[in-house]
């Protein structure tokens, strides 16, 4: 098939960027409406070879929708194009916020104050080789190319195969759009008899050097472990009688922050997951008083390549056990010294008898223990936390309150450490996972790199994982039943406030690849996309990829 022209792409790109579709807001519906309007106006999608529709995100407070369009040709083989239309907030644009969605006026304003840009951004602006604006790179450039490519497919009366495009809300938050789209993909597969052979995302890629593009044969995972610590409350002047939960949590943070134990390295490829980092660590006090806090809570970000959630859980439990032991030993030693020096009897301290040493549990173990004591009370407590989420309380706060209530239900006043997972969970996925996927993606990457070398003197490298986190995580899954069981056990409020259709993902599983334009500074004020990639290189590579997978025995489409 032929790639769309630069004019066709830009006629979609600029109006698409102009739509303020900030993530987590009802404004995402404006981008959905733009997508629908584009295909409603096309005669090829009004009784022609194309179909389009809307799929609601279930129980979504903002009423957001997944949009789709399909070109049906000859045969069952189907390529799935996918992009998200939500963008991150624009606060960092400051006084230029009103221009964030207007690339041409934004560029003019930036040229008036070049001193506000770093050297690389200023050079890219002056060259005219990059288009600036919120969402220009992440990811309405890829979306515009995909929409124009679908238009091109609909013009071909001899189109072989099927080309399906899904446009998604909420990728920047909880991927509610893609999780809902899994049901849509399963429905369309049955309705039209589709055989899914490849999912293509068009997220922007970053380059190590300007002459080498990046193709990604998968997407990195994301796991958000939480750690809850409950101590023994005491006046600060009587610290020897209490147990400060911050003593344990701080040790856990120190033992895991940027730790390579929770990171993955691929061999022999030079790929490594980002070392883990803490997104939050705080105590439960809302205002100052002279008591130590009763509990503390933290959230760790782990982005695995080959890691699985079970391995993360076991590693974190081991680290928590060590931290709890160290904190306990320090507190006991200090307490005994204080009591000895001040003439107090050591046994007067209620905090350091043998049964007051910290327990370390996974959330699943805590839940099972309390269910065995009082199932009705456990369910009542869980439902109360779920209702807090439905009323708009942040999920981590509701989980904290739930674990706090369950910890109190254990009784005995013993210090406690609980670790589990918070939403969202993104499974890691890669062509490396399955031999048939691996062969297909490596062959595709070699063909695309050869085309780029021939046309533009550019190389394209294949990486195993897109490291920016993406909706490709839900394109396929291994051991769906086992992972779902683990997530259901260890993620509080799973099924109430958040869920993943693991079984449906297994049913639509297909290899995936990211083929997107070169972009820079995603989520920053200087976000920008390569003009040549937007209008020439990426459209050619996408057309080549689609033609190759839909008609593998066909001749060169160019």
- Within 8 A by CB and 6+ apart from 266, the residues are 272, 305, 306, 464
Nearest to 234 by CA among 294, 284, 282, 285: 294
Q: Which residues of 168-184 are buried (b: 16+ CB within 10 A; e: fewer)?
A: bbbbbebbbbbbbbbeb
The pLDDT value recorded for residue 347 is 54
Same fold, 6-220+427-475+510-550 and 222-426: no
Instruction: For residue 346, name the pLDDT band (cuts at 50, 70, 90).
Output: low
- Within 8 A by CB and 6+ apart from 200, the residues are 79, 80, 81, 82, 512, 513, 514, 515, 542, 545, 546
The pLDDT value recorded for residue 336 is 79
Q: Across residues 469-493, what is the average pLDDT?
A: 94
Give the tens place of pLDDT for each residue, 521-530. 999 999 999 9
Q: Are 307 and 483 in contact (CB under 8 A)?
A: no
Give the tens place of pLDDT for each residue, 141-155. 999 999 999 999 999
Share of the chain above pLDDT 90, in %: 77
The pLDDT value recorded for residue 240 is 75
Q: Are 137 and 517 in contact (CB under 8 A)?
A: yes
Give the tens place of pLDDT for each residue, 392-414. 899 999 999 999 999 988 876 78
Strand partners, 282: 297
Q: Are 487 and 309 in contact (CB under 8 A)?
A: yes
Tell me which of 486 and 46 has the higher pLDDT.
486
The pLDDT value recorded for residue 110 is 95
The pLDDT value recorded for residue 343 is 78
The CA distance from 221 to 318, in Å, is 22
The pLDDT value recorded for residue 528 is 98
Tell me which of 130 and 556 has the higher pLDDT.
130
Across 401-450, where does the E strand assignment appear? 416-426, 429-430
Q: Strand 74-84 and strand 160-168: pairing? A: parallel
Tokens encoding 506: 């297994």
C-alpha 129, offset from chain centre: 29
DSSP secondary-structure letter at 92? G
Give the chain's mean pLDDT.
92
Radius of gyration over alpha carbons of the chain, in Å?
27
Strand partners, 520: 528
Q: In the predicted model, is pLDDT for residue 178 greater than 80? A: yes
The pLDDT value recorded for residue 555 is 45
The pLDDT value recorded for residue 536 is 98
Tokens encoding 110: 């930036």
Tokens encoding 18: 């102009």
The pLDDT value recorded for residue 68 is 97
The CA distance from 80 to 178, in Å, is 13
Tokens encoding 500: 């993943």
The topology under which CATH files domain 6-220+427-475+510-550 is Aminopeptidase (3.40.630)
The pLDDT value recorded for residue 422 is 96
Give the tens place of pLDDT for each residue, 278-316. 999 999 988 888 888 999 999 999 999 986 899 999 999
3 state DSSP class of 42: coil
- Within 8 A by CB and 6+ apart from 363, the residues are 403, 418, 419, 420, 421, 489, 490, 491, 492
Q: Across residues 319-348, what is the average pLDDT?
A: 80
3 state DSSP class of 279: strand
Domain ranges of the chain: 6-220+427-475+510-550, 222-426
Tell me which of 293 and 339 has the higher pLDDT.
293
Q: In the predicted model, is pLDDT for residue 340 greater than 90? A: no
A 10 A CB-CB count for 227 gives 26
The CA distance from 421 to 142, in Å, is 32
Give the tens place of pLDDT for each residue, 439-457. 999 999 999 999 999 999 9
Q: Are 212 and 124 in contact (CB under 8 A)?
A: no
The CA distance from 58 to 60, in Å, is 5
Give the tens place of pLDDT for each residue, 181-238. 999 999 999 999 999 999 999 999 999 899 999 999 999 999 999 999 998 888 887 7
Nearest to 402 by CA among 450, 376, 366, 452: 366
H helices within 87-214, ranges in order? Answer: 103-112, 119-127, 141-154, 176-192
The CA distance from 17 to 142, in Å, is 11
Tell me which of 302 and 356 has the higher pLDDT.
302
The pLDDT value recorded for residue 400 is 95
Query: Is the bond preceding 117 in cis, omega lying within 30 degrees of 0?
Result: no
Q: In the predicted model, is pLDDT for residue 361 greater than 90? A: yes
Q: In the predicted model, is pLDDT for residue 558 greater than 60? A: no
The CA distance from 403 to 381, in Å, is 9
Rounded to 5 degrees, what angle do the CA atoms 410, 412, 416 make?
65
The CA distance from 547 to 55, in Å, is 27
Share of the chain above pLDDT 70, in %: 96
The CA distance from 328 to 321, in Å, is 10
The CA distance from 404 to 115, in Å, is 51
SS3 labels along 481-493: HHHHHHHHHHCCC
The topology under which CATH files domain 222-426 is Alpha-Beta Plaits (3.30.70)
Q: Across residues 272-281, what is the average pLDDT?
A: 94
Q: In the predicted model, is pLDDT for residue 354 greater than 60? A: no
Burial of 2 (C-beta count, 10 Å sphere; 0-12/13-18/19+): middle
Q: Across residues 463-486, what is the average pLDDT?
A: 93
Instruction: For residue 23, name the pLDDT band (cuts at 50, 70, 90).
Output: very high
């Amino acid at each position: 098939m032929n790639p769309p022209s630069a004019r066709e792409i830009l006629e979609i790109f600029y109006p698409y960027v102009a739509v303020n579709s900030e993530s987590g807001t009802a404004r995402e519906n404006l981008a959905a409406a733009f997508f629908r309007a584009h295909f409603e106006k096309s005669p090829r999608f009004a009784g022609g070879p194309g179909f389009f529709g809307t799929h609601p995100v279930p129980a979504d407070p903002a009423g957001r929708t997944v949009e789709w369009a399909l070109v049906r040709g000859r045969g069952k083989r189907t390529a799935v194009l996918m992009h998200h239309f939500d963008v991150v907030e624009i606060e960092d644009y400051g006084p230029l916020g009103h221009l964030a969605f207007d690339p041409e006026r934004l560029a003019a304003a930036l040229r008036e104050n070049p001193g506000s840009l770093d050297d690389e951004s200023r050079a890219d602006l002056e060259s005219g080789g990059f288009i600036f604006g919120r969402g220009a790179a992440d990811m309405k450039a890829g979306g515009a190319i995909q929409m124009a490519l679908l238009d091109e497919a609909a013009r071909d009366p001899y189109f072989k195969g099927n080309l399906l495009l899904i446009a998604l809300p909420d990728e920047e938050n909880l991927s509610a759009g893609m999780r809902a789209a899994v049901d849509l993909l399963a429905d369309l597969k049955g309705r039209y008899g589709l055989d899914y052979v490849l999912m293509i995302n068009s997220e922007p890629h970053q380059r190590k050097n300007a002459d080498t593009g990046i193709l990604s044969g998968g997407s990195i995972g994301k796991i958000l472990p939480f750690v809850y610590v409950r101590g023994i409350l005491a006046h600060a002047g009587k610290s020897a009688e209490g147990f400060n939960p911050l003593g344990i949590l701080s040790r856990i943070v120190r033992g895991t922050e940027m730790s390579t134990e929770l990171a993955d390295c691929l061999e022999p490829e030079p790929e490594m997951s980002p070392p883990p980092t803490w997104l939050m660590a705080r105590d439960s006090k809302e205002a100052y008083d002279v008591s130590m806090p009763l509990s503390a809570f933290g959230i760790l970000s782990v982005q695995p390549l080959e890691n699985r959630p079970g391995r993360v859980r076991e590693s974190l439990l081991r680290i928590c056990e060590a931290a709890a032991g160290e904190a306990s030993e320090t507190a006991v030693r200090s307490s005994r010294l204080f009591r000895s020096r001040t003439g107090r009897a050591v046994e007067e301290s209620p905090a350091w008898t043998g049964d007051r040493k910290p327990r370390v549990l996974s959330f699943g173990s805590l839940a099972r223990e309390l269910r065995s004591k009082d199932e009705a009370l456990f369910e009542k407590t869980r439902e109360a936390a779920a209702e807090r989420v439905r009323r708009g309380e942040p999920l981590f706060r509701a989980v904290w309150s739930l674990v706090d209530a369950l910890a109190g239900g254990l009784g005995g006043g013993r210090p406690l450490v609980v670790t589990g997972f918070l939403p969202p969970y993104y499974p890691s996925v890669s062509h490396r996972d399955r031999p048939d996927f691996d062969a297909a993606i490596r062959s595709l990457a070699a063909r695309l790199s050869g085309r780029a070398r021939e046309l533009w003197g550019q190389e394209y490298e294949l990486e195993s994982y897109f490291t920016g986190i993406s909706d490709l995580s839900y394109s396929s899954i291994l051991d769906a039943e086992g992972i779902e069981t683990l997530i259901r056990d260890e993620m509080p409020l799973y099924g109430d406030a958040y869920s993943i259709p693991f079984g449906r993902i297994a049913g639509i599983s297909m290899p995936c690849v990211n083929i997107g334009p070169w972009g820079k500074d995603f989520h920053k004020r200087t976000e920008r996309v390569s003009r040549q990639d937007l209008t020439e290189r990426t459209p050619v590579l996408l057309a080549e990829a689609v033609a190759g997978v839909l008609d593998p025995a066909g001749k060169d489409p160019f």
